[in-house]
Copies of this chain bind each other. A is one copy, B any other.
Amino acid sequence: MTGKVTALALEQAELSGATRAYFAKCEEKLGLVPNVLLAYAFDEKKLRAFTDMYNDLMLGDSGLSKLEREMIAVAVSSVNHCYYCLTAHGAAVRQLSGDPRLGEQIAMNYRAAELSPRQKAMLDFAVKLTESPDKMDEADRQGLRDAGFTDRDIWDIASTAAFFNMSNRVAAAVDMRPNDEYHTMAR
């Protein structure tokens, strides 16, 4: 099931060849088509806009490793208690880190994980940005610089944390449900 609101819409959609090919590639690489993509597929323009932004942020060039970006995803989703994103991205942290416990810790409370000062600073920033965006100021940015991040890295931390504040809310608003396969991945 892909979410109560979008279920109906999806029935009416006809997927283009390009989308079918994209989904086949997901199936091949991940073993599944993430339900979030099925949820957006009722409108291919929305699907493409979402995947373009997602793929650039999470897989594109960055001073942050892919694991670090997934850690941000999970820490933000923990604050927002997002079932979809904690499930899907918790699995990614377990997989990319090879440390199942780390995925659990960040999903539950990133303060319980044994993080490097760099990663602690990164998640502190992401979580403050999630909880009180109105209170961000230069001292927060300076904290990241002091931990060794460049201004470009700050952009990437900020836009990844911000993206999941969007994605968590879409998932919550339409009751999006993660693929069952995530639960057992990389345990």
Contacts and interface: CB of A to CB of B under 8 A. Distances in A.
B56 A52 contact: no
A85 to B, nearest CB: 9
Contacts of A23: none
A183 interface: yes
A181 B170 CA distance: 32
> How many copies make up the complex?
6
A133 interface: yes
A37 to B, nearest CB: 14
Contact of A187 (B111, B154, B184): B184
Contact of A133 (B82, B100, B105, B125): B82
B100 A184 contact: yes
Contacts of A83: 104-105, 108-109, 112
A131 to B, nearest CB: 10
Interface in A48-90: 48-50, 52-53, 56, 60, 78, 80-83, 86-87
Interface string A98-117: 00110011011101100000
Contact of A52 (B48, B78, B108, B141): B48
Contacts of A163: 166
Given A141-B4, A167-B162, A134 B172 contact: yes
Of A87, A161, A166, A175, most buried by chain B (CB within 10 Å of CB) is A166
A142 to B, nearest CB: 11
B158 A174 contact: yes
Contact of A53 (B49, B159, B169, B173): B49
B187 A183 contact: yes
